[in-house]
Structure 1
Amino acid sequence: MIPVLDARLAAVLKLIRAATHADIGSDHAHLPIRLVQTGRVERCVVVELNPGPLGHARTNVALTGLSDRLEVRQGNGLSPLRPGEVESASMTGMGANTIQSILEAGGERLPPALVVQPNDSPRILREWAARSGFHLVAEALAAGFWSYPVLRFEARSGADPVYDGVPLDAALRYGPHLLRSGDPLIRRQVLDDLTRLTPLAAPGRAAQDELNTAKTALEFLEK
């Protein structure tokens, strides 16, 4: 069995490389299977809470013949892992608030490298990383029904230098790496925000602050 990954999971795969990895909320286990098959990880723990997806994951892992390198466990978030068991973990296809809750509950099970793909704005995850001893070392956008953000965090000391020289509010909203790269998808996102927010903005409204952030981001992109 060789799963085909969509653009979203393919972007996640490119940001993962480790000896031991855990995929949290794995669903059908397509991502961890491809991680092992492509040699990007040596061993992967597949974590799924719900019985239906858990069964699919176990079936798909069995079909690969890689059960010695892929282990499926039932549980919530990082709780099925032993402290220090994995070097990195991924969380994809969830809301940013759900991912943040998993990270905050991780405690000593939290690995030193994280790759996350929220289905909504990743700002709260960038803010979590900045206050939790993680640096944002890479970002990508994957085209799909909307542009899916993918972020890689690594545990490092000190303030994250990636935010130096980038307007902070714009960097937290749109991503410092993405703004520096001038990625066409992030430019489209900024322009779409300007179009959406302009008729909604007025002094004292949240939309006004969001519009100002989008304008700042566009100014940075056009330097």
Structure 2
Amino acid sequence: MLTSKRLSAIADYVLEGSRLADIGSDHALLPVELVGRGTCPSAIAGEVNDGPLEAARRGIAAAGLASSIEARKGDGLEVLQPGEADTVTIAGMGGALIVSILEAGRLGGKLDGVRQLVLQPNVGEELVRAWLLEHGWHLAEESILEEDGKIYEVLHALSSAEARERSEELYGGEPLLPGLTSEEDRRLKLRMGPYLTRRPSEAFARKWSSELRKLRGIALQLERSDTEEAAARKRELAQVIDRIEEVLACTRTDMSSLS
């Protein structure tokens, strides 16, 4: 069984019967768990570096699953043939890197036949949400958790004929805060999560309290510059800080009502 809360959260999103490709699989813990528990009949563990690739192969062999899981060396989705997997998991990377892997896969036809993505960016979650929205994937669910002093977000996206319509409903509708334009509201939901902003969560509050401290530090540094560019950036940051503070205030109110 998986001992990592982060990997367990990813595994729980994978649908029964999925043909899995785990990109950046490291020790192949996720494929071994999902094939071992019977969720996935088969899996591919992709790794670009020899050390993790060999670790994956050892883990697969130790679990007795070499007939069902194949470890392959390759960069991102290059380890796949089009139509070979219907589910892709990518975890433990920055959001920009995850987006670059998905985009290269999209352009190369490697996402053909893929109907499910489970993604866990370490940073830059808004970049991943924006890519999913732009390319016709519906963010079906997302979660946030804390493990070993770090906070992680896990995104579960689906591709379907109704994906664009459902995405418009998700990012449209009632704004998070009064007075926001539709574009401002969409940007805020992409940044903070359209589901996470609606749910009271200690992990969410801790993450964005930390982000606020970082943003205020940047704003303080900008005070030392008298350029027009610095002034514009400071105004932009002030607005972002205000919006995050307002969302956090609403979240804390919701959490208080539940206690």
- TM-score, length basis structure 1: 0.91
> Where does residue 11 of structure 2 map in the other structure?
13
> Where does residue 237 of structure 2 map in the other structure?
207
Cα distance change, pair 43–196 in 1 and its aligned pair in 2 (3 A): same
Paired residues for 1:62-141 under 5 Å: 62-107=61-106, 108-110=109-111, 111-141=114-144
The residue type paired with residue 171 of structure 2 is Y
Cα distance change, pair 129–123 in 1 and its aligned pair in 2 (3 A): same
> Where does residue 40 of structure 1 map in the other structure?
39
Cα deviation, 1:44-63, whole Å, max 9, x if unaligned, reads 11111100000111111011
| Structure-2 separation of matches of 1:220 and 1:78 | 40
C-alpha deviation, 1:199, in angstroms:
5.5
C-alpha deviation, 1:117, in angstroms:
0.6
Asked if the contact 1:5–1:30 (Cα under 8 Å) also holds between the matched residues in 2, the reply is no
Cα deviation, 1:165-202, whole Å, max 9, x if unaligned, reads 24323211111111112222112223333344345447
> Where does residue 58 of structure 2 map in the other structure?
59
The residue type paired with residue 152 of structure 2 is Y
The structure with the greater share of residues assigned to helix is: 2
Determine helix, strand or coil for the equivalent of 2:150.
Answer: coil
Q: Which runs of 5+ in 1 are unaligned?
A: none
Cα distance change, pair 43–198 in 1 and its aligned pair in 2 (3 A): same
With CA pairs under 8 Å and 6+ residues apart, which has the higher RCO, 1 or 2? 1
- TM-score, length basis structure 2: 0.79
Q: Cα RMSD (Å) of the superposition? A: 1.9
Determine helix, strand or coil for the equivalent of 1:176.
Answer: coil
Cα deviation, 1:124-153, whole Å, max 9, x if unaligned, reads 000001110001111111212321111011
Cα deviation, 1:60-108, whole Å, max 9, x if unaligned, reads 1011111111111111111121111111100011111110000000122
The residue type paired with residue 110 of structure 2 is R
Larger Rg: 2
Determine helix, strand or coil for the equivalent of 1:41.
Answer: coil
> Where does residue 218 of structure 1 map in the other structure?
248
Asked if the contact 1:141–1:147 (Cα under 8 Å) also holds between the matched residues in 2, the reply is yes
